[in-house]
Amino acid sequence: MRLTLILLVLLLPQMAAAQMAATLVADDVTIENSERLIATGNIEVLYDGSRLQAARVTYDKPTDRLRIEGPILITGPDGEILTAAQADIDPQLENGVLLGARLVLDQQLQLAANQIDRAEGRYSQLYKAAVTSCQVCAGKTPLWEIRAEKVLHDQDAQQLYFTNASFRVKGLPILYLPYLRLPDPDNARARGLLIPRIRSNDRLGLGVKLPYFLPLGQSRDLLLTPYLASNTRTLESRYRQAFRNGNVQIDASVSRDDLAGRDGTRGYVFAEGTFDLGSNVLLRFDVQTASDNAYLNDYAISDTDRLSSIVALTQVRPDALNAASLSYYQTLRADETNATLPPLVAQAGLVRRYYSAMGGTVTLTASADTLLRYGADLGAPGRDVTRTGATAAWSRDWLSQSGVLLTGTAAAQADLWQVNDSTDFDPTLSRLVPYGQIVLRYPLVRRNGRTRHVLEPVAALTYAARIGDVPPNEDSTRPELDGGNLLALSQFTGQDAVEDGAKLALGLTWTRAGSEGVTSQLSFGRILRAQADPQFTLTSGQRDAVSDWLVAGQIALPRGLTFDGRALLQDDGTTTLATARVFWNRPEVQLAGGYIWQAADPAIGRTEVVSEYSFDGAVQVTPAWNVSFDTRYDIARDGPVRAGVGLGWRNECVTVSLSVSRRYASSTTVQPTTDYGLSVALQGFSANGLPRLAPTACGN
């Protein structure tokens, strides 16, 4: 018969003052002279979140000690597991000695020792210890282990301290360290070395990266990564800080290398942050700078060939928007200069929306922008332009009984330009553009069981009249017809260029939502103008009075597979633009492919045809093996742009990653480079966010 005994009442009056009780359950309990308690058979002791199981427990009241005979199993409140053959410990299970013991942290890291000393409920000191996260089978050596003369586990600091440690692979010692400190599995912000990575690069040579993590409190941290290779000495860094109302991250590096033509110190800085200033005001900044055109490419940091730095303030409310930004652009292209981009752009604007008592919505917009070029040249290379303007628009919907939806819009846009350092334009220019538009929609719905079809024809008649001067076009140099602007008042993306005269936009969209989980959509569109607008170029799809056909489609299949495409087709079937994309997103598979074709268009600086495809993804082949890859190929030039493949393998105690990538000539460098990377990580030290793998079963 099992008995339950409250040790607080019978044996531990000193614990009663502290209102702490231990509960003992056993098959048989004997009390000798009110001084000693002996429990045997299926013993369980519960105390302050800890649980002890053993074959025999003897409690001696005068010495306040528990003598326990095994097999012993102790489970701590944080999930740690301790096993032993025998123990001499206090009733709180905080201080004592355990013989033939094994400590398991986070059900992953195993620490076995001849003896474990427990002290203050915080420290566990192991003598003649072996540490591993690999499956340990009788008579077999684990894949890796650390043997040490002494190991101290600080439970509160979540750290492991090794004395006279040797790292072994399949029992073979390969590294000796007199002192070693490692985080335990629950420590997600441990100070110290992270996974080293070996890297071989055609230009930089063979080297190694040694990241070192420095937590600076609960809200800040710093990652320093020395990179030592044959032809470079580099220090990479990442600083992160979280504030009550925002966050900041700064990535930077500084290098001294032996690359031809790159004398002196090189480096880059990328910094970004977001802050909520209250009253719906958001501050955002993003700073990018590099010492030279090729640095980001040489060190495989980024493929970008133009750097943008921006500081922006935005305030969004249900019926109002305020925004202001200041941007700086730095080109890394060999055929461009910063002075003529333009490098400095300042913008500010506000939007107010009102609901008219007569029906409809009134929208008022005011904006200003400045483009500064600090070149000395006159004309476009050195032109500075400031524009201020305002727009007033009224819009209202009417729905007929037959289901026809009519939307009417009336708007007027007024702008003023100040132009400096230009011989082609007057210093002051002004323009007024009134707009009028009527849009008709007639959605038709058909149901076939649980499948729904929607067919929606649409027509938009728009008229605009340009009154005043023709300003320099700075913000609408590459207009393009797409589904987002087919019905817009203007197909130009900015404020400088506008359309003049009447146009009719026609569109048809078919949407199908099937019961089997398949959703598809197909759209057609075209614009008819009273006369051709010379501001549109060939690849805009709108060079002629009758635009190209806009054709767009998408199909979404069950299990995460999506296809979409878009094209601009001329009447003879030729195309000026075609794009296609495919996505497959599953827990075990992530694939993305894309293709783009654009005709040459000298009017916008594209002197050659663009024809490229890209394909990248990651596949979890088995729980242990994964493969990743990416490729981009320039069909027009018949040459690759980049290619890479990665291979990963892991089991319950180790993760190995191998990668190979090649970058070919680009706008910032003419020398292709190949990178090889290798990293090996031991599981069980510090939290790494990877799902655990079940250990391999031991054979007979």
Report the percent of the chain where pLDDT is more than 90: 48
Calculate mean pLDDT across residues 510-521.
89
Long-range contacts of 629-635 (CB under 8 A, 24+ apart): 630/661, 635/611
Paired strand residues for 275: 246, 283
Q: Among residues 460, 456, 445, 355, which one has the least CA distance to residue 406?
A: 460
pLDDT greater than 60 at residue 687: no
The one-character DSSP state at 191 is -
* Residue pair 526/542 in contact by the 8 Å Cβ criterion: no
* Residue pair 334/294 in contact by the 8 Å Cβ criterion: no
Check residue 380 and give its pLDDT. Answer: 65
What is the β-pairing status of strands 28-32 and 451-464? Answer: unpaired
Check residue 689 and give its pLDDT. Answer: 54
pLDDT greater than 70 at residue 93: no
Name the token pair of 585. 């997103």
- Find tokens 């056993």 and name the residue: 26
* Residue pair 567/595 in contact by the 8 Å Cβ criterion: no
pLDDT greater than 70 at residue 20: no
- The Cα–Cα gap between 397 and 222 comes to 56
* Residues of the chain by 3-state class (helix, strand, coil), percent to 5: 5, 60, 35
* Residue pair 360/394 in contact by the 8 Å Cβ criterion: yes
Calculate mean pLDDT across residues 474-494.
89
DSSP helix/strand/coil, 272: strand
Q: How confident is the model at residue 235 (pLDDT cuts 50, 70, 90)?
A: very high
Check residue 359 and give its pLDDT. Answer: 86
- The Cα–Cα gap between 334 and 341 comes to 13
Most confident by average pLDDT, 5-14, 64-73, 169-178: 169-178
pLDDT tens-digit map of 304-337:
889 999 999 999 999 999 999 999 999 988 878 8
Check residue 670 and give its pLDDT. Answer: 57
Check residue 594 and give its pLDDT. Answer: 96
HEC sequence for 79-133 = CCEEEEEEEEECCCCCCEEEEEEEEEECCCEEEEEEEEEEECCCEEEEEEEEEEC
- Find tokens 């195993």 and name the residue: 110
* Residue pair 272/247 in contact by the 8 Å Cβ criterion: no
Check residue 103 and give its pLDDT. Answer: 85
Paired strand residues for 593: 582, 615
Q: How far is CA 596 from CA 333, 478, 565, 567, in A?
A: 22, 17, 10, 10
Check residue 667 and give its pLDDT. Answer: 61
Check residue 431 and give its pLDDT. Answer: 96
DSSP states of 640-680 as a string?
EEEEEEEEEEE-SSEEEEEEEEEE---SS-SS-EEEEEEEE
Calculate mean pLDDT across residues 99-116.
86
Check residue 1 and give its pLDDT. Answer: 32
- The Cα–Cα gap between 522 and 509 comes to 6
Q: How far is CA 417 from CA 255, 393, 449, in A?
A: 45, 21, 59
Check residue 378 and give its pLDDT. Answer: 60
Q: How confident is the model at residue 11 (pLDDT cuts 50, 70, 90)?
A: very low
Check residue 511 and give its pLDDT. Answer: 95
- The Cα–Cα gap between 502 and 20 comes to 86
DSSP helix/strand/coil, 189: coil
Calculate mean pLDDT across residues 200-224.
90
Q: Among residues 421, 422, 416, 362, which one has the least CA distance to residue 386?
A: 416
pLDDT greater than 80 at residue 549: yes
Q: How far is CA 502 from CA 212, 396, 435, 491, in A?
A: 65, 21, 10, 13
- The Cα–Cα gap between 208 and 172 comes to 24
| Exposure string for 586-612, b = 16+ CB within 10 A, e = fewer | eeeebbbbbbbbbbebebeebeeebbb
Q: How confident is the model at residue 45 (pLDDT cuts 50, 70, 90)?
A: confident
pLDDT tens-digit map of 48-90:
777 888 888 888 888 888 888 878 888 877 777 888 888 888 8
Calculate mean pLDDT across residues 370-392.
84
Q: How confident is the model at residue 15 (pLDDT cuts 50, 70, 90)?
A: very low
- Find tokens 């549109």 and name the residue: 536
Helix (H) or strand (E) holding 13: helix 13-16
* Residue pair 643/637 in contact by the 8 Å Cβ criterion: no
Mean pLDDT, rounded, of the chain: 87
φ/ψ (deg, to 5) at 188: -90, -10
- The Cα–Cα gap between 417 and 430 comes to 6
Q: Which of 46-55, 426-435, 577-586 has the lowest mean pLDDT?
A: 46-55
Helix (H) or strand (E) holding 269: strand 265-278
- Find tokens 């008219």 and name the residue: 356
Q: How many residues does the chain have?
A: 700
Report the percent of the chain where pLDDT is more than 70: 92
